[in-house]
Amino acid sequence: MSLEWFDRVCAELQDHLESICEEYDQVGQMTIERAAKHPRIEFFVETEDVDTEELDRDFFCTLFFDPQNEEFYVDSFDVDSGHTAKIILSDIEEIIDEVHTSLHDYINGEAHYAEDGVYLQSEGLDEEDCETYKDDLEEEYYEAEQINEDDIFEEIDVEWSTPEVTAFKHEDEVEVTYQFGVVQETGDGVLRRVNRIWTTDDELIKDESHFIFSKEEASTIIAMIASHMDQLSEFDF
Protein backbone atom coordinates (compact mmCIF):
# COMPACT_ATOMS: atom_id res chain seq x y z
CA MET A 1 0.00 0.00 0.00
CA SER A 2 1.26 3.45 -0.90
CA LEU A 3 0.14 7.05 -0.34
CA GLU A 4 2.35 8.45 -3.11
CA TRP A 5 -0.61 9.12 -5.45
CA PHE A 6 -2.59 10.65 -2.59
CA ASP A 7 0.27 13.01 -1.67
CA ARG A 8 0.82 14.04 -5.30
CA VAL A 9 -2.84 14.94 -5.76
CA CYS A 10 -2.89 16.86 -2.47
CA ALA A 11 0.11 18.88 -3.60
CA GLU A 12 -1.40 19.83 -6.97
CA LEU A 13 -5.14 20.01 -6.34
CA GLN A 14 -5.38 23.44 -4.69
CA ASP A 15 -3.49 25.25 -7.46
CA HIS A 16 -5.49 23.52 -10.20
CA LEU A 17 -8.83 24.41 -8.63
CA GLU A 18 -7.88 28.05 -8.03
CA SER A 19 -6.73 28.44 -11.63
CA ILE A 20 -9.89 27.08 -13.29
CA CYS A 21 -12.54 28.55 -10.99
CA GLU A 22 -12.74 32.09 -9.64
CA GLU A 23 -15.38 31.09 -7.09
CA TYR A 24 -13.16 28.40 -5.60
CA ASP A 25 -10.23 30.84 -5.49
CA GLN A 26 -12.39 33.23 -3.46
CA VAL A 27 -14.26 30.93 -1.04
CA GLY A 28 -13.10 27.33 -1.42
CA GLN A 29 -10.82 25.70 1.14
CA MET A 30 -9.55 22.17 1.68
CA THR A 31 -8.30 20.10 4.58
CA ILE A 32 -6.33 16.84 4.43
CA GLU A 33 -6.86 13.91 6.82
CA ARG A 34 -3.92 11.59 6.12
CA ALA A 35 -4.23 9.63 9.38
CA ALA A 36 -7.57 7.97 8.55
CA LYS A 37 -7.77 4.34 7.42
CA HIS A 38 -8.92 5.73 4.08
CA PRO A 39 -7.24 9.16 3.90
CA ARG A 40 -9.49 11.92 2.64
CA ILE A 41 -9.48 15.46 1.29
CA GLU A 42 -12.42 17.57 2.45
CA PHE A 43 -13.53 20.78 0.78
CA PHE A 44 -15.49 23.45 2.60
CA VAL A 45 -16.66 27.05 2.71
CA GLU A 46 -16.42 29.07 5.92
CA THR A 47 -19.69 30.77 6.91
CA GLU A 48 -20.56 32.92 9.90
CA ASP A 49 -23.24 31.93 12.37
CA VAL A 50 -25.58 34.94 12.62
CA ASP A 51 -26.35 34.19 16.29
CA THR A 52 -22.87 33.52 17.68
CA GLU A 53 -20.82 35.33 15.01
CA GLU A 54 -18.52 32.30 15.00
CA LEU A 55 -17.17 30.76 11.82
CA ASP A 56 -18.59 27.39 10.74
CA ARG A 57 -17.42 25.02 8.04
CA ASP A 58 -19.90 23.89 5.41
CA PHE A 59 -18.44 20.85 3.62
CA PHE A 60 -19.42 20.47 -0.02
CA CYS A 61 -17.21 17.59 -1.20
CA THR A 62 -15.15 14.75 0.27
CA LEU A 63 -12.60 12.74 -1.72
CA PHE A 64 -11.60 9.40 -0.22
CA PHE A 65 -8.43 7.48 -1.05
CA ASP A 66 -8.19 3.69 -0.94
CA PRO A 67 -4.51 2.94 -0.16
CA GLN A 68 -4.94 -0.76 -0.92
CA ASN A 69 -6.03 -0.14 -4.52
CA GLU A 70 -4.36 3.29 -4.77
CA GLU A 71 -7.47 5.03 -6.10
CA PHE A 72 -9.62 8.05 -5.26
CA TYR A 73 -13.38 7.72 -4.90
CA VAL A 74 -16.49 9.53 -3.68
CA ASP A 75 -19.50 7.99 -1.98
CA SER A 76 -22.85 8.69 -3.61
CA PHE A 77 -26.39 7.79 -2.65
CA ASP A 78 -28.88 6.42 -5.17
CA VAL A 79 -32.29 7.74 -4.13
CA ASP A 80 -34.18 5.17 -6.21
CA SER A 81 -32.40 2.06 -4.91
CA GLY A 82 -31.56 3.41 -1.46
CA HIS A 83 -27.98 2.14 -1.72
CA THR A 84 -24.62 3.88 -1.36
CA ALA A 85 -22.23 3.51 -4.28
CA LYS A 86 -18.51 4.15 -4.66
CA ILE A 87 -17.58 6.22 -7.72
CA ILE A 88 -13.94 5.82 -8.75
CA LEU A 89 -12.07 8.91 -9.97
CA SER A 90 -9.29 7.59 -12.17
CA ASP A 91 -7.24 10.72 -12.89
CA ILE A 92 -6.61 14.29 -11.75
CA GLU A 93 -9.04 15.70 -14.33
CA GLU A 94 -11.94 13.66 -12.95
CA ILE A 95 -11.00 14.62 -9.40
CA ILE A 96 -10.94 18.34 -10.25
CA ASP A 97 -14.24 18.09 -12.11
CA GLU A 98 -15.92 16.38 -9.14
CA VAL A 99 -14.84 19.09 -6.70
CA HIS A 100 -15.65 21.85 -9.20
CA THR A 101 -19.16 20.53 -9.82
CA SER A 102 -19.83 20.04 -6.11
CA LEU A 103 -18.82 23.63 -5.33
CA HIS A 104 -21.23 25.12 -7.86
CA ASP A 105 -24.04 22.81 -6.76
CA TYR A 106 -23.41 24.05 -3.23
CA ILE A 107 -23.40 27.72 -4.25
CA ASN A 108 -26.62 27.27 -6.20
CA GLY A 109 -28.29 25.43 -3.34
CA GLU A 110 -28.56 22.26 -5.43
CA ALA A 111 -26.37 20.04 -3.23
CA HIS A 112 -28.13 17.28 -1.34
CA TYR A 113 -26.84 15.02 1.41
CA ALA A 114 -27.85 11.68 2.80
CA GLU A 115 -26.87 10.34 6.21
CA ASP A 116 -23.21 10.13 7.32
CA GLY A 117 -22.10 12.89 4.97
CA VAL A 118 -22.73 10.90 1.78
CA TYR A 119 -23.38 13.12 -1.20
CA LEU A 120 -26.16 12.71 -3.72
CA GLN A 121 -24.48 12.91 -7.10
CA SER A 122 -25.40 15.71 -9.50
CA GLU A 123 -25.03 16.18 -13.21
CA GLY A 124 -21.72 17.44 -14.61
CA LEU A 125 -21.00 21.16 -14.75
CA ASP A 126 -20.41 23.02 -17.97
CA GLU A 127 -17.13 24.93 -17.73
CA GLU A 128 -18.82 27.99 -19.28
CA ASP A 129 -21.13 28.19 -16.28
CA CYS A 130 -18.24 29.52 -14.17
CA GLU A 131 -18.63 32.93 -15.78
CA THR A 132 -22.26 33.20 -14.65
CA TYR A 133 -21.68 32.85 -10.91
CA LYS A 134 -21.29 35.97 -8.75
CA ASP A 135 -19.40 36.25 -5.51
CA ASP A 136 -22.00 36.59 -2.76
CA LEU A 137 -20.60 35.52 0.60
CA GLU A 138 -23.76 36.64 2.41
CA GLU A 139 -25.81 34.05 0.55
CA GLU A 140 -27.52 31.49 2.78
CA TYR A 141 -25.61 28.28 2.15
CA TYR A 142 -26.89 24.75 2.52
CA GLU A 143 -25.38 23.29 5.69
CA ALA A 144 -23.70 19.93 5.09
CA GLU A 145 -23.21 17.39 7.83
CA GLN A 146 -19.84 17.87 9.51
CA ILE A 147 -17.46 15.17 10.62
CA ASN A 148 -16.42 14.79 14.23
CA GLU A 149 -12.67 15.40 14.10
CA ASP A 150 -12.17 13.68 17.48
CA ASP A 151 -13.09 10.32 15.94
CA ILE A 152 -10.68 10.46 13.01
CA PHE A 153 -7.65 8.81 14.56
CA GLU A 154 -9.78 6.11 16.19
CA GLU A 155 -10.30 4.66 12.71
CA ILE A 156 -6.80 3.15 12.58
CA ASP A 157 -5.13 0.63 14.86
CA VAL A 158 -1.76 1.83 16.20
CA GLU A 159 0.63 -0.21 18.33
CA TRP A 160 2.62 2.26 20.39
CA SER A 161 6.29 1.22 20.65
CA THR A 162 7.35 3.87 23.15
CA PRO A 163 5.78 5.74 26.05
CA GLU A 164 5.33 9.50 25.82
CA VAL A 165 8.80 11.03 25.74
CA THR A 166 9.23 14.63 26.87
CA ALA A 167 10.95 16.60 24.13
CA PHE A 168 10.61 20.00 25.75
CA LYS A 169 9.40 21.43 29.04
CA HIS A 170 9.49 24.94 30.51
CA GLU A 171 8.76 25.06 34.22
CA ASP A 172 5.03 24.43 34.80
CA GLU A 173 3.89 26.33 31.72
CA VAL A 174 4.61 24.29 28.59
CA GLU A 175 5.36 20.64 27.88
CA VAL A 176 5.79 18.90 24.52
CA THR A 177 5.90 15.10 24.32
CA TYR A 178 6.28 12.61 21.48
CA GLN A 179 5.30 8.98 21.13
CA PHE A 180 6.22 6.55 18.35
CA GLY A 181 3.98 3.79 17.05
CA VAL A 182 3.26 1.59 14.03
CA VAL A 183 0.00 1.37 12.07
CA GLN A 184 -0.90 -2.32 12.20
CA GLU A 185 -2.65 -2.48 8.84
CA THR A 186 -0.06 -0.64 6.73
CA GLY A 187 3.19 -0.88 8.70
CA ASP A 188 3.62 2.90 8.51
CA GLY A 189 5.21 4.82 11.36
CA VAL A 190 3.26 7.28 13.53
CA LEU A 191 4.54 10.20 15.58
CA ARG A 192 2.07 11.44 18.17
CA ARG A 193 2.79 14.97 19.41
CA VAL A 194 1.06 16.32 22.52
CA ASN A 195 1.44 19.98 23.45
CA ARG A 196 0.28 20.87 26.97
CA ILE A 197 -0.04 24.47 28.13
CA TRP A 198 -1.03 25.57 31.63
CA THR A 199 -2.71 28.97 31.84
CA THR A 200 -2.36 31.44 34.70
CA ASP A 201 -5.61 30.00 36.09
CA ASP A 202 -4.05 26.51 36.14
CA GLU A 203 -6.27 25.45 33.28
CA LEU A 204 -4.72 22.76 31.07
CA ILE A 205 -4.89 23.25 27.31
CA LYS A 206 -3.99 20.11 25.38
CA ASP A 207 -3.30 19.97 21.64
CA GLU A 208 -2.67 16.59 20.02
CA SER A 209 -1.54 15.86 16.45
CA HIS A 210 -0.31 12.83 14.51
CA PHE A 211 2.11 12.42 11.63
CA ILE A 212 2.12 9.19 9.59
CA PHE A 213 5.04 8.24 7.35
CA SER A 214 6.32 5.19 5.46
CA LYS A 215 9.63 3.40 5.98
CA GLU A 216 10.87 4.91 2.71
CA GLU A 217 10.11 8.42 3.97
CA ALA A 218 11.73 7.98 7.39
CA SER A 219 15.37 8.20 6.27
CA THR A 220 14.64 11.29 4.16
CA ILE A 221 12.88 13.02 7.06
CA ILE A 222 15.72 12.23 9.46
CA ALA A 223 18.36 13.43 6.98
CA MET A 224 16.54 16.68 6.23
CA ILE A 225 16.16 17.53 9.92
CA ALA A 226 19.74 16.61 10.78
CA SER A 227 21.21 18.66 7.93
CA HIS A 228 19.25 21.79 8.88
CA MET A 229 19.48 21.73 12.67
CA ASP A 230 21.80 24.73 12.65
CA GLN A 231 19.03 26.86 11.09
CA LEU A 232 16.66 26.26 14.00
CA SER A 233 16.31 28.56 16.98
CA GLU A 234 15.71 27.57 20.58
CA PHE A 235 12.35 28.39 22.15
CA ASP A 236 12.34 32.00 23.30
CA PHE A 237 10.48 32.81 26.50
pLDDT at site 113 = 43
Distance CA 16, CA 105 (A): 19
Using a cut of 0.85, tell me whether the model's pTM lies above it: no
| Domains in the chain, CATH or no CATH each | 4-152 (no CATH), 156-231 (3.10.450.700)
| Predicted local confidence at residue 152, as pLDDT | 45
Q: What is the pLDDT of residue 57?
A: 81
pLDDT computed for residue 171 by the predictor: 78
Position 73 scores a pLDDT of: 92
Distance between CA atoms of residues 163 and 166, nearest Å: 10
Check residue 113 and report its DSSP letter: B
CA dihedral in degrees (10, 176, 216, 149; nearest 10)?
Answer: -40
237 residues of the chain, pLDDT tens digit each: 578 888 888 888 877 887 878 878 788 888 888 877 888 999 888 887 666 667 778 888 899 998 888 899 998 766 666 667 888 998 888 999 999 888 888 888 755 444 444 444 444 444 444 444 334 333 333 333 333 444 445 556 888 999 889 988 887 788 899 999 998 888 889 999 998 888 877 788 888 888 888 888 888 888 888 888 888 887 665
Q: Are 46 and 137 in contact (CB under 8 A)?
A: no
Task: Find out whether 87 and 102 touch, Cβ atoms under 8 Å.
Answer: no
Q: Output the pLDDT for position 208.
A: 86
